[in-house]
Chain A
Amino acid sequence: MGMGVKIRVWGDFALFSRPELKVERCSYDVMTPSAARGILDAVYWHPGLKWVVDKIYVRKPIRFTSVRRNEVKSKVLASSVLQAYNGGDKPLFISSKEEIVQRASLLLCDVEYVIEAHFEMTERANASDNPGKFKDIVMRRLRRGECFHTPYFGCREFPAHFCLWEEEAVPTAYDDAEEKDLGLMLFDMDYSDPEQIQPMFFRAVMRRGVLDLRNCEVMR
């Protein structure tokens, strides 16, 4: 039994931030493998299972638009939360007037992808878990549109619609383009050592609209 699935995802906007352009966020040309994994995790995830993204099909032409928004620059401070928790009288909030920054983001618009992925079992699986069971759960969720939380394209304000891709062939917007080099892209984060979470990169080459992630060289 094949443990692979193909899921079609689409939406109005997407923002897969480049780590080097994070203040004024700029999206990658296509979805990163980590974002694709995030979408799958939003649909179904369990400690006993690990998603591996095999291919990303780019179904619509890559187009950008820009949006500038008022954002706040600070985060919740743990020390002030502790103070309030212990009964301090310092009011706890961020004043957006003082902490405001205007930031532009370069978004992708009108996107559609097909993610081809499979899962692997991990050591944390229970005795009663098996690939068949997980596969059934995933397929049922995809067919019914169930999800843990609504998946999104990079940022939560860009929700992703999703459904199962049941056809064999996946036409893309770049079927005629032999090869398009997208440069170095984020592959995923390595969480194996929680003290030191490390980014991993890979050389992204889109061939006929498909980003093939099998056997690609991952750089740290």
Chain B
Amino acid sequence: MREVIKNRYEFVILFDVENGNPNGDPDAGNMPRIDPESGLGLVTDVCLKRKIRNYVETVKEDEKGYKIYIREDVPLNRSDREACRDIGIQEEDEKKQTEALKKLKKSDPDVDIKLRDYMCENFYDIRTFGAVMTTFVKASLNCGQVRGPVQIGFARSIDPVVSQEVTITRVAITTEKDAENKTTEMGRKSIVPYGLYRAEGYISANLARKVTGFSEEDLELLWEAIINMFEHDHSAARGKMSVRELIVFKHSRELGDCPAYKLFDAVEVRKNGNVMYPRRYQDYTVLVHEEQIPESVEVRRMI
């Protein structure tokens, strides 16, 4: 049996982007997300969680206990198998399943919890972030909602970012008709020349112990995934992204030793004095004010 985590944690992630788009805004034609009032860049929590899922999926490759529930792509063999099933009795099967579930629920009132534990045991992302499962039996209490111990807020850039439109051309034309009239097509991409972003996260040891069983090994994997989350996510849109700092606060107890905001306030990211327009990580200084942190809280700079 793996050992469930016993301490509350908080963490600060600092990551930067160079000439890329860290997180497109579907409302603004995929331009980088910007808080319209302050001009600060935003990266949503779900964007970062996606990267963590992808990393775990890449390194663990469906290893038992490390499956990923919410996937980006459908692996080929699934479609193959589904094709086989289509000829079969898939439809009936589903109905039977629901009925079997109802029957089981009557004879075994704990079936909800058994199924939940089964999901947590097998899926890393459910153990970590939680999942919403449908009501197991209609009109009865919904036991299917799992809150995961790891909670991440929106990431925000330290300084306002400017998004820049870059117009590009390509010589390969998509349609025959267009090819008659022109030799190149224009495209657009939006980039942030440079942005240093800060995300804050929380890990509740209580939810780990009482619900999902998020273990010490899982925690190590989470840190590894955060550190490497952009290393396997390079693409034309992203530019150069990297995690610069992962500062972890480990409380000495399950409930924690001090308020989270005090720990977050102790991490100061300062733009160096003579820099007008930051363009590289060296234009910033990261300070951890140890004196503001209670002694019982262990601070680790993981990078």
- Residues of A at the B interface (CB closer than 8 Å) are 12-13, 63, 65-72, 75-85, 89-98, 102, 104, 109, 141, 144-150, 152, 156-159, 161-163, 194-197
Give the interface size bracket for B toward A. Answer: 35 or more
- Check A150 against B260 for contact (C-beta < 8 Å): yes
Report if A149-B204 is in contact (Cβ < 8 Å); known contacts: A81-B115, A85-B115, A156-B151.
Answer: yes
Closest 4 CB pairs of A and B: A145-B259, A149-B204, A76-B133, A79-B97
A77 to nearest B CB, angstroms? Answer: 6
- Residues of B at the A interface (CB closer than 8 Å) are 25-27, 33, 35-37, 42, 44-46, 67-75, 78, 81, 85, 94, 97-98, 100-101, 104, 114-115, 118-119, 122-123, 131-136, 139-141, 144, 147, 149, 151-154, 156, 200, 202, 204, 206-207, 253, 255-262
19 A-B pairs in the complex with CB atoms less than 8 angstroms apart: A63-B37, A65-B35, A69-B44, A76-B133, A76-B134, A78-B136, A104-B27, A145-B261, A146-B253, A148-B255, A149-B206, A150-B204, A150-B260, A157-B45, A157-B151, A157-B153, A194-B140, A195-B140, A196-B139
- Check B118 against A12 for contact (C-beta < 8 Å): no
Q: Which of the residues B25, B70, B256, B262 comes within 8 Å of A68, measured between beta carbons?
A: B25
B117 to nearest A CB, angstroms? Answer: 10
Q: Which residues of B contact A93 (CB under 8 A)?
A: 67-71
- Check B71 against A94 for contact (C-beta < 8 Å): yes
- Check B149 against A82 for contact (C-beta < 8 Å): no
- Check A94 against B70 for contact (C-beta < 8 Å): yes
Bound-complex Cα distance A94 to B125 (A):
12
Q: Which of the residues B42, B81, B94, B260 comes within 8 Å of A161, measured between beta carbons?
A: B260
Q: Which residues of B contact A97 (CB under 8 A)?
A: 72-74
Bound-complex Cα distance A193 to B147 (A):
23
Report if A78-B144 is in contact (Cβ < 8 Å); known contacts: A67-B33, A69-B44, A157-B152.
Answer: yes
- Check A149 against B207 for contact (C-beta < 8 Å): yes
Bound-complex Cα distance A63 to B204 (A):
30
B134 to nearest A CB, angstroms? Answer: 5
Complex: chain A residue closest to B257, CB-CB: A144
Complex: chain A residue closest to B131, CB-CB: A76
- Check B134 against A75 for contact (C-beta < 8 Å): yes
- Check B259 against A94 for contact (C-beta < 8 Å): no
Bound-complex Cα distance A150 to B205 (A):
11
- Check A96 against B256 for contact (C-beta < 8 Å): no
Report if A92-B69 is in contact (Cβ < 8 Å); known contacts: A98-B74, A145-B259.
Answer: yes
A220 to nearest B CB, angstroms? Answer: 18
Q: Which residues of A contact B259 (CB under 8 A)?
A: 144-145, 161-163
Report if A68-B26 is in contact (Cβ < 8 Å); known contacts: A75-B132, A195-B139.
Answer: yes
- Check B36 against A65 for contact (C-beta < 8 Å): yes
Report if A145-B69 is in contact (Cβ < 8 Å); known contacts: A78-B134, A150-B204, A156-B147.
Answer: no
Bound-complex Cα distance A126 to B162 (A):
59
